Amino acid sequence: MAKLLPFLLFAVTLVCAQTKNAGNLELSLAPEAVLTLDLSSGDYRIEAGPDDKLVIKSQGKSSAERRKVHFGLNAGPQEASVKVDGPQNFVATIQIPSNVSLNVRLNGGRLTMAHISGDKNIESNAGKLSIDVGRPEDYRTVEASVNVGAIDASAFHGSRSGALQSFNANGPGKYHLRVHVGTGQIKLFTDEAI
């Protein structure tokens, strides 16, 4: 029992340390890293943040609710993969470097993205994806598709609705944008002054 006591004290200390920032995660990223986010169903806002960090802030109303959020992490020098598993009706803000190659897999819900340049590959089983693309001329290829739903690609002067719809555009830029939702809506817009 005496040998077990230090281990138990260490375990209790770790649990207390984890609850201080329950529902939040901060991770250092290399410039122009490839970032993959695997997100459980919820309401997410992805926006530009510090140039060298990923910051996830849970918007849970209580500390008990924030403690239900779990993170999985696999990170290397130029690549990071983060899994977010939140409770029902989960809401979070995710800040990432503005110039990052981003892959997002959303189980379902709503995703809003603003002020992120770089390549983007975004998929959702169901829900609404609203992406401020910034400058449309920064993109070489744009691919948007829905199994059932609507595509509003006003930034690229196009729209589609119905079953098995897709929208494609090419431009002079260097970035690639691919967005797919099973059932739901895709909105590709820009707040850039014209």
The residues with which 153 forms a beta bridge, in sequence order, are: 158
Taking a C-beta distance cutoff of 8 angstroms, is the pair 18, 24 a contact? no
pLDDT at 158: 84
For the chain, what are the domain ranges? 4-189
Q: Are strands 34-39 and 101-106 parallel, antiparallel or unpaired?
A: parallel
Q: How far apart are CA 156 and CA 140, in angstroms?
A: 12
pLDDT at 63: 74
- pLDDT per residue, tens digit, the chain (194 aa), is 444 433 333 322 222 222 236 778 888 887 778 999 999 999 999 999 888 889 999 987 777 777 888 888 888 878 899 999 988 889 999 999 888 899 999 999 999 999 898 899 999 999 999 999 999 999 999 999 999 999 999 999 888 887 888 999 999 999 999 999 999 999 999 986 43
pLDDT at 79: 87
- What's phi and psi for 7, nearest 5 deg? -65, -45
pLDDT at 192: 61
pLDDT at 169: 94
Sort residue 149 into left (φ over 0), alpha (ψ -120 to 50) or beta.
left
For 172, how many CA atoms within 13 A lie in the half-sphere containing its CB?
2
pLDDT at 21: 64
**Tokens of residue 61, six digits:** 């109303």
pTM: predicted TM-score of the whole model, two decimal places: 0.82
pLDDT at 94: 95
pLDDT at 44: 96
Q: Identity (one letter) of the amino acid at 136? A: P
Sort residue 68 into left (φ over 0), alpha (ψ -120 to 50) or beta.
alpha
Q: Burial letters for 55-70: b for 16+ Cβ neighbours within 10 Å, e otherwise?
A: ebbbbbeeeebbebbe
Which residues, 6+ apart, have CB-to-CB distance to 159 below 8 Å?
Answer: 150, 151, 152, 153, 167
Measured CA distances, 26 to 22, 54, 149 (Å): 11, 6, 35
